[in-house]
Each structure stands twice: as structure tokens, then as C-alpha cells.
């Protein structure tokens, strides 16, 4: 019976993408598939969540929660949607909840505030004044990067998520639409408006 | 106006490429996730059971003793607080009466006394008349 089930699953998932197939095998009881999924998605998903919440520790917590929910609610997964879509939907939901709960703290966030990964070079700059030119260039780069980060952060929540999924995670329209629970045309419209806002706000850097 | 998403060659898309944060997961990420999954799968009270399993019996006894000592100390403080003498009522707190008020009170008392002493003069004359009649 077990072998038959595995054969049927193997046949049916051949047409699905690899991650969805792994998820279906995990649903069928193969725990090792869950570890494989965590290994495959933890890096990209951290990049996605970090771009939304901009706090490494909080991003890690959100990731833990997202994978935990996948584990606990594996029976609810339906292969109509790709596994990545389902996972991004969960992570996006958790990240937006986090941002809503910490809105007051985020109000103090400013353009001048260095991002976590920007902080180390700045400290290095303090210690090595001899490399002045290099540091000036790095500082300009940091400022541009901070400006882009802040402009994306200022977008409405759905537009922000859509831009990060499209531009930085490489998700296609259908995947973004599935993750945001929108139609494909609504997703395209959302992305168009988001990019137009970004173009307007960043025109002096273009 | 055609509503199209900008292609990768668009200057805006190239500018957005400049924001490339590279956060890294902490080395204990998978270990912590595994633990959370075990806790969630084991149901409520799993953390407590795991703590009991991981901690040596001596340490368990020591922590139980410390907890008892703290509870006893807390109990003594609560008991003392409930049995403390109440503060003296305001009527007894005469030591701090204003000296001016005390002097006025003394004068009033003296005035009363003098008024009561007046009756001495009246009975004196009447008694003398009675004696005269005798």
C-alpha cells in the first residue's frame, strides 16, 4: 500500500515543480523532505523578509514561525498553488503583522540610520581614515542604498511586498498574485503603480 | 499610456539593484527550529518536561530549595506587613500643636476660670447680710 501510494505520488508530482513535490512527500510522511525544504528556502526567504522588516533578529523569528506553520499545517496544503507561493504568502503575512505591531518603533527609522549590514563598514571607516577616498565612495554608495531602502519602505504594504517579490526574489506574476491573493491583472497594476512611485521618488538618482 | 512593468534594462531597475542587503542566518537557526517543532508537536508543557529531562537532579533540588526560600521570605514580609501597628490617631498627635494656638487656648481657659470665680464676690455680700440679720 505504501509503495503504491509512493508510486502514485511520484507519477503525479512529476509535472509539479521540485519544491511542491517535496511538500507532497512531506505531507505523505517523509520528514526528511521538510528539512530539504527548509534548506532550500531559508536563504531566499530571509532575503525577502529582511527587505520588508529590516531587522535580522526579527526576520529570523518570522522565518522560524513561517516554517513552523508549514510543519504544523502541512495537511492544509493544496497543490493547486506552488509550494513557494504558499510559503511566501505565510511569510508575507507574518512580516506585515510584525510591521503593524512595531509601527511606532519604525517611525523613528530615518534615512540617516545605517542598515545593519552598512554599520560594519562605517565602523571600519572610523578606524582607517587613511583610506579616505575609498570611504567617501562607500559612504555615497551607502547613502544611495539607504535612499532606495527608505523609498521602498515608504510604499504601501502590498506594493512593497510585490516589488520585493518581483524585483529581488524573481517571482513571476502568478506567484506574486498567489502570495498576495490577488488576480494576475491586479498584481500587474499594483506593480506598475509601485514602480511609477519609485521612479518619481528616485528620479534624482536615475 | 501603456501600463507596463519596466524591463530589467530600465534605469530604475538597475538603480534598485544597488540595494543588496546580505543578512545571514545565525548558526543555531535550524537547531532552534527543530526544537520549536518538537515543542509544538509535543503539545503544551513540553518545555517544562524538556527542562526536567535536561537538568540534573541535584540542580532540580537546588532550584526547588531556592524557590521555597524565596516563597518563605515573601510570606514573612507579607505577614509582617499585615500585623504592623496602625499609625497613632490624629487626636494623640498633640506634640506638634502650633505654640501660638496653644497660648490662645491657655488665655481662653484662663478667661473661663475668671468668669467662674466671679460668683465668689456675689455670695460673699449676701452671706454677710444674712449674718447681719442674725
Percentage of residues of chain B with pLDDT beyond 90 = 25
Test A115 with B21 for CB contact under 8 angstroms: yes
In the prediction, which pLDDT does B91 show? 54
- Is the pLDDT assigned to residue A196 strictly greater than 90? yes
The answer, as to whether pTM is greater than 0.95, is no
From residue B125, give the alpha-carbon distance in Å to each of A105, B118, B120: 97, 12, 9
**What is the maximal distance between C-alpha atoms in chain B?**
145
What are the φ/ψ torsions at residue B65 (nearest 5 degrees)? Answer: -65, -45
What are the φ/ψ torsions at residue B46 (nearest 5 degrees)? Answer: -65, -40
Work out the minimum CA distance from A83 to partner chain B, whole angstroms: 19
- Chain B hits for A154, CB-CB cut-off 8 Å, are none
- Chain A hits for B26, CB-CB cut-off 8 Å, are 60
Rg value, chain A, Cα = 20
* Better pLDDT: A132 or A120: A132
Please say whether the beta carbons of B13 and A167 come within 8 A: yes
In the prediction, which pLDDT does B47 show? 66
In the prediction, which pLDDT does B130 show? 45
Strand, coil or helix: what is A39?
helix
Residue of A51, A68, A198 with shortest CB distance to B21: A51
Burial-class residue A35 by CB neighbours within 10 Å (0-12, 13-18, 19+): middle
- Per-residue model confidence as pLDDT tens digits over A85-97: 999 999 999 999 9
Judged by a CB distance cut-off of 8 A, whether residue B30 touches chain A is yes
- Per-residue model confidence as pLDDT tens digits over B83-117: 776 666 655 555 566 777 778 788 777 777 766 66
Residue of A68, A116, A148 with shortest CB distance to B19: A148
Distance CA A26, CA A32 (A): 7
Judged by a CB distance cut-off of 8 A, whether residue B131 touches chain A is no
Distance CA A165, CA A168 (A): 6
Closest-approach residue (CA) in chain A for B14: A206
Test B33 with A205 for CB contact under 8 angstroms: no
Please say whether the beta carbons of A60 and B25 come within 8 A: yes
Distance CA B69, CA A41 (A): 49
Distance CA A72, CA A49 (A): 21
Judged by a CB distance cut-off of 8 A, whether residue B29 touches chain A is yes
Amino acid at each position: 500500500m505504501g509503495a503504491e501510494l509512493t508510486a502514485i505520488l511520484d507519477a503525479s508530482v512529476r509535472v509539479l515543480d521540485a519544491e511542491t513535490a517535496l511538500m507532497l512527500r512531506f505531507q505523505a510522511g517523509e520528514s526528511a523532505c521538510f528539512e530539504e525544504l527548509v534548506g532550500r528556502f531559508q536563504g531566499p526567504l530571509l532575503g525577502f523578509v529582511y527587505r520588508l522588516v529590516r531587522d535580522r533578529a526579527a526576520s529570523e523569528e518570522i522565518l522560524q514561525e513561517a516554517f513552523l506553520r508549514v510543519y504544523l499545517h502541512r495537511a492544509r496544503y493544496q497543490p493547486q498553488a506552488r509550494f513557494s507561493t504558499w510559503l511566501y504568502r505565510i511569510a508575507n503575512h507574518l512580516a506585515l503583522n510584525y510591521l503593524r505591531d512595531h509601527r511606532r518603533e519604525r517611525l523613528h527609522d530615518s534615512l540617516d540610520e545605517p542598515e545593519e549590514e552598512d554599520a560594519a563598514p562605517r565602523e571600519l571607516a572610523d578606524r582607517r581614515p587613511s583610506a579616505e577616498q575609498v570611504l567617501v565612495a562607500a559612504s555615497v554608495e551607502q547613502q544611495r542604498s539607504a535612499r532606495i531602502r527608505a523609498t521602498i519602505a515608504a510604499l504601501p504594504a502590498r506594493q512593497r511586498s510585490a516589488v520585493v517579490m518581483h524585483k529581488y526574489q524573481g517571482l513571476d506574476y502568478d506567484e506574486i498574485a498567489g502570495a498576495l491573493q490577488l488576480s494576475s491583472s491586479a498584481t500587474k497594476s499594483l506593480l506598475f503603480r509601485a514602480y511609477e512611485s519609485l521612479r518619481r521618488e528616485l528620479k534624482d538618482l536615475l | 499610456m501603456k501600463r507596463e512593468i519596466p524591463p530589467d534594462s530600465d534605469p530604475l531597475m538597475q538603480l534598485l539593484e544597488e540595494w543588496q542587503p546580505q543578512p545571514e542566518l545565525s548558526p543555531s537557526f535550524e537547531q532552534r527550529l527543530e526544537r520549536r517543532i518538537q515543542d509544538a508537536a509535543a503539545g503544551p508543557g513540553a518545555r517544562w518536561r524538556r527542562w526536567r529531562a535536561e537538568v540534573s537532579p541535584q540542580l532540580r533540588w537546588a532550584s526547588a530549595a531556592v524557590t521555597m526560600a524565596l516563597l518563605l521570605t515573601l510570606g514573612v514580609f507579607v505577614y509582617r506587613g499585615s500585623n504592623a501597628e496602625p499609625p497613632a490617631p490624629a487626636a494623640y498627635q498633640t506634640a506638634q500643636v502650633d505654640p501660638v494656638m496653644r497660648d490662645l487656648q491657655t488665655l481662653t481657659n484662663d478667661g473661663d476660670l475668671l468668669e467662674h470665680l466671679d460668683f465668689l464676690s456675689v455670695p460673699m455680700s449676701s452671706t454677710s447680710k444674712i449674718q447681719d440679720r442674725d
